[in-house]
Every structure is written in C-alpha cells, then in structure tokens.
C-alpha cells in the first residue's frame, strides 16, 4: 500500500511563467516518482536510491486543490497548470489511485488550461477528459491570441536507444513506444510535442543522434520538439550526479572523464555547451521543418 500524507497546499504558483512549457502553476498528485530516472532533479536523500521506496500519495490533495482553484478562478487568475512537475502524473500507481484523474476533473470544473509531460502510456485512459479540458479551458489574457487551446501534451525522450533508456529510466516505457504515444495523441487532435530534455552529453546530444530524435519526432507527427541539457545535482549517494556517473561506468567508462571535464564540480553544463546545444537544436529543427518551441 502506498504511503499517504496530508498536505496543506497542492497548487504551486510559479514566480514567473515557465519559458519552456508555459505553465504558471504546477500540481503533483504524488510525492516522488516511480519512473526512477537516474538524472531526475528531485533525487537526493529525501527519496533514496530507489525513489519508489519514498513515494507517497497526497491523500487530501483533491479537497485542497478544489479550494485553491476556486480562489484563483474567482480572481480570474487563470494560467496553465503543469500536472506532474516533480512526478510523472501517470506512474503505475495512478492506475489504482486515480489521483491525476481527480485533479484533471477539478481543473476542468474550474476551467484551467493544462500542461502534461509524461513517459508513460496510461495518459490514454484520460483522453476524453483531456479533450474536454482542451475545449473548455480559459487561457491567461496574454496567451489568448497565441494559442487557441487549453491543453498542451509532451512526451519526454532523452535517447532513442532502448538499452540506455532501460538503464537510465527503468520505470518509463521504451522510447519508441513513447513516440507511438505522440502519434496516437496527435490522432486524437491534441497539441502534442516531444521534450528531448535532457539530451545526454556525448550520447544523444551529437549532431547525428539529435537529428535522429528530431526526425523520429517529426515522423510521429509531433508539433514541436524542445531540446535541453542535462543537469546533475548533488554528490550524495542517492543524488543524480553520483548515480549518473555510476551509470556511465557501466555503460561506457570512457565517457566518464569527458563528463568530469564538462561538469567539473558544477551541477549545470557550462554556458558555451548550452549555447552550442541551442544553436544545434534550432538549426536541425529548422532543417527538418519542425518547431523548437510550443508557440508558433
Ligand atoms: S519521470 Fe520525471 S519526475 Fe519521474 S523520475 Fe523521471 S525525471 Fe523524475
């Protein structure tokens, strides 16, 4: 049985809108995530090496969310709500507990627009609910002319190699299955793209590998592809930097010195790397005629 906890607040308002995903708010039905990605930014001592062990369900989340949404709606403070920013909204526990579904039902009731990024196919269970949100949501005033719909869906892919994905993202579905999900969501009429965030230095960020991801996204009818670098936090035993470096030792130890040189004692990739990656991604998206942002 999943651990349950009570929360005082569940709707988080960002200081400013997320420039990638356009969300002004986020909600997380679960604390922690069973996808267990080694690079996950929420890792660390709080969740331990296996995040499944520290996972909790927010037992009173729906009651609290309803109150918070009612206040925001009354003040006309509409904005995209990212459902699952510190968890995947469709972890396997969602099949049983249906907390994401409950949150989406409330977001529909109060007409908030929704952004969801997932690595799992359970999202197809909620297609009819998501269609209603897409139609009924009230956009924030400054997005009304730019985006005439209330739902943005993304599927995250860091590599197309199943072997690497199995090692790095053990609780997610295989990368090609994720791309098939993009196609399916597009067939349902949703605005759907691919988050190639993070791409992996020297593995999936190269000209050739990045173009493969971009082409595969286009072939699966993605509306856009967002490309971003890898952040590796912390040096503790359950932190992402430690776990990622252990993965490199198992996958290809010759990459380890390259990463150590790139990251040094930092958690972020240096600016020149970020700029090069951005330039490469924009150029390859242009060449292959696919948007590198959600908005046109
Ligand atoms: S799916 Fe997202 S939240 Fe879940 S472990 Fe992976 S990176 Fe973290």
Residues 18 and 125 in one domain: yes
CB atoms within 10 A of CB 75: 8
Instruction: Identify the domain boundary among 139, 156, 173.
Output: 156
Question: How many angstroms is it from 196 CA to the middle of ligand 1?
Answer: 13
Euclidean distance between CA atoms 103 and 99, whole angstroms: 6
Residues 64 and 111 in one domain: yes
Instruction: Identify the domain boundary among 141, 156, 171.
Output: 156
Q: Does a structural domain hold residue 249?
A: no
Instruction: Tell me, using a 6 A CB cutoff, whether residue 119 lines ligand 1.
Output: yes
Domain membership of residue 287 as a residue range: 157-230+269-296
Q: For the chain of 296 residues, list the mean pLDDT of each consecutive stretch of 10.
A: 93 96 97 92 70 87 98 98 96 97 98 98 98 97 94 98 97 98 98 98 98 98 98 89 96 97 94 97 98 94
Query: Considering only CA atoms, which of 246, 268, 261 is closest in space to residue 202?
Result: 261
3-class secondary-structure state, position 221:
coil
Euclidean distance between CA atoms 280 and 44, whole angstroms: 32
Q: Does a structural domain hold residue 259?
A: no
Residues 152 and 5 in one domain: yes
Total number of domains in the chain? 2
Residues 25 and 53 in one domain: yes
Structure tokens at 132: 């209603």
Residue 60: per-residue pLDDT: 97
Residues 164 and 87 in one domain: no
Residues 48 and 152 in one domain: yes
Instruction: Identify the domain boundary among 122, 156, 190.
Output: 156
Question: How many angstroms is it from 150 CA to the middle of ligand 1?
Answer: 24
Residues 74 and 176 in one domain: no
Q: List the beta bridge partners of residue 291.
A: 224
Q: Does a structural domain hold residue 152?
A: yes
Instruction: Tell me, using a 6 A CB cutoff, whether residue 157 lines ligand 1.
Output: no
Map tokens 């990638």 to a residue: 20
3-class secondary-structure state, position 225:
strand
Residues 202 and 71 in one domain: no
Instruction: Tell me, using a 6 A CB cutoff, whether residue 33 lines ligand 1.
Output: yes
Question: What confidence tens digit (pLDDT) does each residue in 191-237 have?
Answer: 999 999 999 999 999 999 999 999 999 999 999 999 999 999 888 88
Pocket test for ligand 1, best of 88, 123, 157 (most atoms within 8 A of CB): 88
Q: Does a structural domain hold residue 238?
A: no
Instruction: Tell me, using a 6 A CB cutoff, whether residue 116 lines ligand 1.
Output: no
Instruction: Tell me, using a 6 A CB cutoff, whether residue 126 lines ligand 1.
Output: no
pTM: 0.96
């Amino acid at each position: 049985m999943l651990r349950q906890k009570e929360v005082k607040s569940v709707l988080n308002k960002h200081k400013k809108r997320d420039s990638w995903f356009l969300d002004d708010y986020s909600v997380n039905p679960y604390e922690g995530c069973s996808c267990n990605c080694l690079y996950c930014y929420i890792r660390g001592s709080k969740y331990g090496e296996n995040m499944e062990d520290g996972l909790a369900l927010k037992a009173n989340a729906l009651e609290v969310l309803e109150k918070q949404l009612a206040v925001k709606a009354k003040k006309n403070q509409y904005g995209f709500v990212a459902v699952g920013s510190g968890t995947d909204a469709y972890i396997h526990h969602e099949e049983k507990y249906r907390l994401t579904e409950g949150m989406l039902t409330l977001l529909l009731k109060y007409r908030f627009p929704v952004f969801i990024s997932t690595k799992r196919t359970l999202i197809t269970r909620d297609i009819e609910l998501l269609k209603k949100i897409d139609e009924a949501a009230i956009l924030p005033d400054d997005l009304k002319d730019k985006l005439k719909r209330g739902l943005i869906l993304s599927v995250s892919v860091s590599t197309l190699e199943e072997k690497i994905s199995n090692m790095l993202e053990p609780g997610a579905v295989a990368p090609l299955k994720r791309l098939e999900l993009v196609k399916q969501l597009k067939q349902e009429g949703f605005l759907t793209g691919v988050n190639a965030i993070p791409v992996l230095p020297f593995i999936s960020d190269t000209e050739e590998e990045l173009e493969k991801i971009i082409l595969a996204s286009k072939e699966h009818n993605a509306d856009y592809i967002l490309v971003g670098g890898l952040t590796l936090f912390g040096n503790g035993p359950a932190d992402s930097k430690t776990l990622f470096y252990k993965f490199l030792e198992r996958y290809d130890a010759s990459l380890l010195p390259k990463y150590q040189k790139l990251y040094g004692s930092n958690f972020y990739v240096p600016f020149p790397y970020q700029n090069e990656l951005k330039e490469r991604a924009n150029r390859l998206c242009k060449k292959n005629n696919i948007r590198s942002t959600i908005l046109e």
